Amino acid sequence: MPKTLYDKLWENHVVHQEADGTALLYIDRHLVHEVTSPQAFEGLKLAGRKPWRVSSIVSTPDHNTPTDHWDEGIKDPISRQQVETLDANIREVGALAYFPFKDPRMGILHVVGPENGATLPGMTVVCGDSHTSTHGAFACLAHGIGTSEVEHVLATQCLLQKKSKTMLIAVDGKLGKGVTAKDVALAIIGTIGTAGGTGYAIEFGGSAIRGLSMEGRMTLCNMAIEGGARMGFVAVDDTTINYLKDRPFSPKGEVWERAVEYWRTLHSDAGAQFDRVVTLQAEAIQPQVTWGTSPEMVVAVGAAVPDPAKESDPVKREGMERALQYMGLNPNTPIQNIAIDKVFIGSCTNSRIEDLREAASVLKGRHVAANVKLALAVPGSGLVKRQAEAEGLDKVFIAAGFEWREPGCSMCLAMNADRLEPGERCASTSNRNFEGRQGPGGRTHLVSPAMAAAAAIAGRFADVREVL
């Protein structure tokens, strides 16, 4: 019987199965950061247990770390304690790789893993972070877990799982100029809704997806969770294999050849059945801008803020009204009339080299508008930062009026000092526009890096296709 990619990944990891289908899945890669791990390490210690296989662990602090004045360390004492706790825990138990604060390879875990070749096709990848779905770009079974499960993986190298349903999201055709993976992700979420993927493992397929770079695929899989699916993945092809060649933790020599041979099998077989299939036409996808407090509240840049009066479901209507009130927006306002206060280019969604190149190509020779109080460019890792600097992108950002920062999660969730003040409006390349996400009272509009750059220049949302 033809198998889906999900079937293949699942079957390759089942250690044991209970009568009701609950399975014990073997975990290949465990990514660990400072926010969701301290209680797990403590629990392990209290129970007198040892980590099962420390060579599965890749770790770096990212959520709490500052993005400027690194010479001054971490000023917030509570943040500092959390980062120091990670430091102490990893130094005690060990890891395949640990990039502490200020290490040249430190960065956002979901950028660091892949760029070091620590994320390989066919792996199960888990992390106490919902955006672990990012690693699905490499045909991994990758998803976020809670802290109890972090402890469970540390102690047993396994997770208790029930098999998900499968969804194929096929995007066929060719994306238009200025339309990126982020726009595809937002358009998908706009179509299926933030709960559309609940209970499903999503495979992204179709010619437009195959045409994406690994960076683009990571952006897309990263946002699977915003569509409700814990995991989203893309089949292995030449793009995957070319990306992985010669990365620090990628296999070498004869083992590489063997690995590639296996990786080539990581795709859904012809005729494989999915529980649900959604199709989108690439040419129909426009640059997207969210207007509300859920990623599903999204429209094309040429559209206007929707009118709750036209929504028939009372719970949804009230949700829209509450969102508009929080966002300080009136129904039917054209998206391009909405002025912004801040711009954030970064996060595990959009902080890779290609994202920075896209933004820089829009910013080159232009300047941030006078009404924009702060424009931040935060590379996803030390390696991304140096690569960007080697290409001169830092100079483009700085000349345009952006601040060029050190890597980290930064204003995506504002656990460090980078945040919105109440009422401030931000064009952000991050993944969540929830109330208070970027700072209490802050108003987030999710966009692609190119669209964030276009908004920075115009001081309001603008159609990047008109400035490219």
Partner 1 sequence: MEKFTRLEGLVAPLDRNNVDTDAIIPKQFLKSIKRSGFGPNAFDEWRYMDVGQPGQDNSGRPKNPNFVLNQPRYQGAQVLLTRANFGCGSSREHAPWALLDFGFKAIIAESFADIFFNNCFKNGIVPIVLPAAEIEALFQQVEATPGYKLVVDLQAQAVIRPDGHGVPFQIDAFRKECLLNGWDDIGLTLRHAEKIREFEEKRRINQPWLFA
- Of 54-83, which residues contact partner 1 (CB under 8 A)? 55, 63-64, 76, 78-79, 81-82
Which amino acid is present at 217?
R
Q: Does 401 bind partner 1 (CB under 8 A)?
A: no
What whole-number distance in Å separates Cα of residue 308 and Cα of residue 218? 33
Q: Does 391 bind partner 1 (CB under 8 A)?
A: no
Three-state DSSP class for residue 460 = strand
What whole-number distance in Å separates Cα of residue 391 and Cα of residue 389? 5
Q: Does 45 bind partner 1 (CB under 8 A)?
A: no
Binding-residue total with partner 1 (CB under 8 A): 83
Q: Does 46 bind partner 1 (CB under 8 A)?
A: no
Site for partner 1 in 183-212 (CB under 8 A): 194-195, 198-199
Q: Does 129 bind partner 1 (CB under 8 A)?
A: yes
Q: How far is the CB of 318 from partner 1 (least distance, A)?
A: 8
Q: How far is the CB of 273 from partner 1 (least distance, A)?
A: 22
Taking the least distance from each CB to partner 1, the nearer of 145 and 446 is 145
What whole-number distance in Å separates Cα of residue 290 and Cα of residue 44? 41
- Return the H-helix or E-strand segment holding 329: none
- For partner 1, the binding residue among 35, 305, 343, 450 (CB under 8 A) is 35
3-state helix, strand, coil in the chain (%, to 5): 40, 20, 45
- Return the H-helix or E-strand segment holding 17: strand 14-17
Q: Does 258 bind partner 1 (CB under 8 A)?
A: yes
Three-state DSSP class for residue 395 = helix
- For partner 1, the binding residue among 54, 68, 85, 210 (CB under 8 A) is 85
Q: Does 424 bind partner 1 (CB under 8 A)?
A: no
User: Bridge-partner residues for 124, per DSSP?
Assistant: 141
Q: Does 50 bind partner 1 (CB under 8 A)?
A: no
Q: Does 47 bind partner 1 (CB under 8 A)?
A: yes
Q: At what angle do helices 214-222 and 353-363 cross, to 10 degrees?
A: 100
Q: Give the tokens for residue 171.
A: 């995007």
Taking the least distance from each CB to partner 1, the nearer of 19 and 270 is 19
Give me the helices (H) in 245-313, please.
253-263
The region of 214-222, 258-266, 334-342, 355-363 touching partner 1 under the rule CB under 8 A is: 258-266
The region of 178-186, 226-234, 346-354, 358-366 touching partner 1 under the rule CB under 8 A is: 226-234
Q: Does 139 bind partner 1 (CB under 8 A)?
A: no
The region of 120-128, 274-282, 336-344, 379-387 touching partner 1 under the rule CB under 8 A is: 120-128
8 Å CB contact between 136 and 234: yes
Taking the least distance from each CB to partner 1, the nearer of 106 and 159 is 159
Give me the helices (H) in 223-305, please.
238-244, 253-263
- For partner 1, the binding residue among 18, 269, 275, 307 (CB under 8 A) is 18
Q: Does 148 bind partner 1 (CB under 8 A)?
A: yes
Q: Give the tokens for residue 107.
A: 């960065």
- For partner 1, the binding residue among 58, 90, 120, 426 (CB under 8 A) is 120
**Mask: binding to partner 1, 304-343, rule CB under 8 A, as x and -?**
-----------xx-xx--x---------------------
8 Å CB contact between 247 and 214: no
Q: How far is the CB of 263 from partner 1 (least distance, A)?
A: 10
What whole-number distance in Å separates Cα of residue 464 and Cα of residue 448? 10
What whole-number distance in Å separates Cα of residue 332 and Cα of residue 440? 26
Q: How far is the CB of 346 from partner 1 (least distance, A)?
A: 16
Q: Does 26 bind partner 1 (CB under 8 A)?
A: yes
Q: How far is the CB of 454 from partner 1 (least distance, A)?
A: 27
The region of 52-60, 167-175, 233-241, 383-391 touching partner 1 under the rule CB under 8 A is: 52-60
Classify residue 466 by its DSSP letter. Answer: G
- For partner 1, the binding residue among 9, 123, 218, 220 (CB under 8 A) is 123
What whole-number distance in Å separates Cα of residue 400 and Cα of residue 420? 21
What whole-number distance in Å separates Cα of residue 130 and Cα of residue 277? 23
158 backbone dihedrals φ, ψ, rounded to 5°: -140, 165
